Amino acid sequence: MQSADDKDIIIASQAGDQQAMSRLISLHASAVHGFILSMINDRAAVEDIAQETFIRAFLAIGKYEFRAPFRSWLFRIALNQCRDHLRKVKVRSIIHPFKRSADDTEIEYADPGQNALQQLIQDERSRALHAALQRLPESLRQVLVLRDLQEYSYEEIAALLHWRMGTVKSRLFRARKELANRLKPYLEENREKGS
């Protein structure tokens, strides 16, 4: 749930206060971008989808009734935008089958405090992780991104995706297991370092 401050910012945004909207953007933009990137793995499209997500959220913010956390409400809009995007990409890939893959795009993160080699390793692992995430079925990807990237509780995931708790547990297990299989070389590398 959000704090009283968050609530005040949301109420001001509902009244059309654009400074409050700007504050909401700075509070949630990074999480929304990260969520979208994990869902679509297409760096070039992330900002456009995030922008559209916020615009739609502000146009509909009067309907937000504080029943769920604001971020969940925002992520639901982002999820719908990602689905629309993936549907368009699917249609485009049928029309242009040889177009460049989204996996080739660069990924930019906020942490500049790393040396070049560490950065390279991190980028490589991030790229592998995002590529592996992208190959998961949508329902498994959603639950894994929400739990492990966005740190949602099981209850919040169940509420956001309208699933039962048992479904959240079993899908999260399947998602992690599937991801472990796809990232086997990286996990073994880590194990060797650890031993």
Which region holds residue 33: left if phi is over 0, alpha if psi is between -120 and 50, else beta? Answer: alpha
> Is 4 an interacting residue with respect to another protein (CB under 8 A)?
no
Which of 72/179 has CB closer to another protein? 179
Check residue 85 for interaction with another protein (CB under 8 A): no
Q: Which of 4, 94, 95, 110 is in the footprint of another protein by CB under 8 A?
A: 110
Spatial contact of 78 and 50, defined as CB atoms under 8 Å apart = yes
Contact with another protein (CB under 8 A): which of 9, 10, 20, 37? Answer: 37
CA distance 121 to 113: 14
Residue among 134, 148, 159, 167 that touches another protein (CB under 8 A): 148
Is 111 a residue that touches another protein (CB under 8 A)?
Answer: yes
Nearest to 46 by CA among 93, 94, 108, 138: 108
Q: What is the sign of the dihedral through the CA atoms of 181, 106, 42 and 122? A: positive
Contact present, 133 and 179 (Cβ < 8 Å) = yes
Among 80, 93, 101, 170, binds another protein (CB under 8 A): 170
Task: Summarize as ranges the residues that interact with another protein (CB under 8 A).
Answer: 18, 21-22, 25-26, 29-31, 33-34, 37, 46-47, 50-52, 54-55, 58-59, 108-111, 122, 125-126, 129, 144, 147-149, 151, 154, 169-170, 172-173, 176-177, 179-180, 183, 186-187, 190-191
